[in-house]
Structure 1
Amino acid sequence: MTYCVGIQLNRGIVFMSDTRTNSGVDNISTFRKMFTFEVPGERSITIMTSGNLATTQAVISLLQERAKRPSDRAPDILKVDSMFQAAQLVGATLKEVIAGHAEAGQRADGAFGATLILGGQIAGGEPRLYLIYPEGNFIEASDDTPFFQIGETKYGRPILIRAYEPDMSFEEAIKLLLVSFDSTIKANLSVALPLDWHVYEADSLRTGQVGRVEPGDPYFEVISNGWGGALRDAFAALPGFEMPSRLKTVG
């Protein structure tokens, strides 16, 4: 499985993804799930993938090839005029790949399904964040829904809902995402380190700071141990539950 999160801030967008694709006892695989398309000073677009690996790799490969060879630049993610058009293109490419598998009898919601997060900025527009479904349609992040998750979403969602603030710093956002990923990793073996992250700063129109959190990373260990201890302390500080008194019988 996987876990990816894109979170929109006043300052820009922060992306984070794990790298695990298989989690059997003797079949553990690691693949990158975050990809960036860039024309410095003109656009920066990031895609994160979840779902069937063959499908997601085919989608990324098509987008990359059509951006490299002039004869195939129709359509080209490096030429579209807006992030909305980029979302349309990526959604259409995903639908195209799944349709190719469907000819062999598969369905979009079956074995070859995939879901994507797309975010970034193109000159002339604002930073945008989208969630793209296997059918090729998509939704955009808003004030009411400022972040998107794909993959194993349920374990890391509560902390995002409780702690997210639109004006938080990039450093605070990464710390928040690491807590969310730690909760997911502890609850589900299908998500694991390394974690990739990318910080896109609004109006920079270029790839921002990127990094990878490897197993044994000292800061992640501090976050993981500290969050566990903080939860235990918070639990201990809550008022104790009192059992109700037994009701007296009459008669």
Structure 2
Amino acid sequence: MTYCVGLLLNEGMVLLSDTRTNAGLDNIATYRKMFLFEDPGERIIAILTAGSLSVTQTTIARIREAIDDNEATSESSIMLAPTMLKVAEIVGNTLSTVRNDIDSKMEASKVSTAASMIVAGQRRGGAMRMFLVYPEGNFIESTEDTPFLQIGEHKYGKPILDRVVRMDMSLEDAQKAMLLSMDSTLRSNLSVGMPLDLAVIRRDDCRVSERRRIEKNDPDFARMSQMWSEALRDGFTKITL
């Protein structure tokens, strides 16, 4: 499984994903779940993936093939699509087609082929938008009322986001909230694991503003995790019945 989360704020976007794929206690591997497609200054599109690895990898491969196709059009390539809404439609249609193809091959084994994606980005002159694409290919969009979207093992990391995320928060505070959300998930669910991929996209830059891979022994992440644990314990002791 995995945990991916995206925040859409006034200043821009923050995206975070883990890299663990778990097919049993003795079969754990690391695969990238964040994919960035960039034409600096013109267009930036990020896709985060969760669920069946065969479905998500095939979907990303087909999206890349469509981009590289010499006969690509605005109907087939996310890098030529006129709007982010059209990008979400292309990704959703590709995901749905791949899932149906693999479903027919996996029917007898009863293996889940469910997969979902977060699609986010901006083209020059257009609005910055973020969508959650479901396994069937349909999607919902992030709004001011719900400025963050999650896929995968999201329940452990949701409470802190519900309490602190606001559209007007800084990108720095947003990164802190995201990493603490991930830390809570890492502590409570073994199917989510390091390393982590973090990306920041400032509004109207149409490029990746910051990108980091956070390894298991990262001192800054370890310090933040320790401080968060201490703050929770301290807060708990101060509360009276």
**Same structural fold, with TM-score higher than 0.5 when normalized by the shorter chain:** yes
Distance in 2, Cα, partners of 1:78 & 1:178: 30
Report runs of 4+ in structure 1 exceeding 2 Å deviation: 23-26, 71-74, 102-107
Q: Could you list the per-position Cα deviations for residues 56-108 of structure 1 after superposition, in whole angstroms to 9, with x for gaps in the alignment?
A: 0001000111111213556111110000000000000001101112333649x
Matched-pair contact (CA < 8 Å) for 1:2–1:19? yes
Q: Does 1:222 align with 2:223?
A: yes
Q: Percent identity?
A: 47
2:38 corresponds in structure 1 to 38
> RMSD of the alignment, in Å?
1.6
- What SS does the corresponding residue of 1:67 show, helix, strand or coil? helix
Distance in 2, Cα, partners of 1:110 & 1:28: 17
TM-score (norm 1): 0.91
Structure 1 stretches of 5 or more lacking a match?
Answer: 242-251
Q: Could you list the per-position Cα deviations for residues 154-176 of structure 1 after superposition, in whole angstroms to 9, with x for gaps in the alignment?
A: 00000000011212221111111
1:111 corresponds in structure 2 to 112
Give the letter for the 2:163 counterpart: R
Distance in 2, Cα, partners of 1:23 & 1:186: 19
Structure 1 residues 37-186: aligned runs within 5 Å: 37-71=37-71, 73=73, 75-104=76-105, 106=107, 111-186=112-187
Aligned residue pair count: 239
Distance in 2, Cα, partners of 1:98 & 1:82: 25
- What SS does the corresponding residue of 2:168 show, helix, strand or coil? coil
CA drift of 1:134 comes to 0.5
CA drift of 1:41 comes to 1.8
TM-score (norm 2): 0.95
CA drift of 1:125 comes to 1.3
Matched-pair contact (CA < 8 Å) for 2:12–2:200? yes
- Highest CA radius of gyration, 1 or 2? 1
Matched-pair contact (CA < 8 Å) for 2:147–2:166? no
Q: Could you list the per-position Cα deviations for residues 175-202 of structure 1 after superposition, in whole angstroms to 9, with x for gaps in the alignment?
A: 1111101100000000111000110111
Structure 1 residues 192-203: aligned runs within 5 Å: 192-203=193-204
Q: Does 1:28 align with 2:28?
A: yes
